[in-house]
């Protein structure tokens, strides 16, 4: 549930940024009001980021070891670091 709420907040932040750009031509006040609420949920994410980041990094390190020799896409990037 916490992850879902955080994802919603994340999407809300993206939507709010898009809405603010659109609202600037229409009505800024309503869009400016919502932004304040998002800050409270922001403190919890760090805990999840630590746990979630710890796992992906291990997986990425394993994948990188396999892909480095094959120069396959890492993290969705098809460009190999060797060619750069």
Domain spans in the chain, listed from the N-terminal domain onward:
1-43, 46-84
Q: CB of 62 within 8 A of CB of 74?
A: no
Q: Which helix (H) or strand (E) holds 8?
A: helix 2-23
Q: Is the pLDDT of residue 30 over 50?
A: no
Task: Specify the 3-state DSSP secondary structure of 1.
Answer: coil
What is the CB-side half-sphere exposure of residue 48 using CA atoms within 13 A? 12
Mean pLDDT, rounded, for 78-84:
58
- pLDDT for the residue 15: 64
User: Would you state the structure tokens that stand for residue 11, as one six-digit string?
Assistant: 């999407």
Q: Is the pLDDT of residue 52 over 60?
A: no
- pLDDT for the residue 28: 47
Q: CB of 63 within 8 A of CB of 74?
A: yes
User: Would you state the structure tokens that stand for residue 81, as one six-digit string?
Assistant: 């670091």
Q: Is the pLDDT of residue 38 over 60?
A: no
């Amino acid at each position: 549930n916490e992850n879902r709420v955080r994802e919603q907040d994340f999407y809300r932040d993206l939507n709010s940024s898009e809405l603010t750009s659109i609202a600037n031509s229409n009505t800024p006040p309503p869009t400016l009001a919502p932004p304040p609420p998002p800050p409270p949920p922001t403190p919890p994410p760090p805990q999840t980021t630590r746990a979630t980041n710890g796992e992906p990094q291990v997986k990425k390190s394993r994948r990188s070891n396999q892909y480095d020799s094959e120069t396959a896409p890492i993290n969705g990037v098809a460009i190999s670091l060797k060619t750069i």
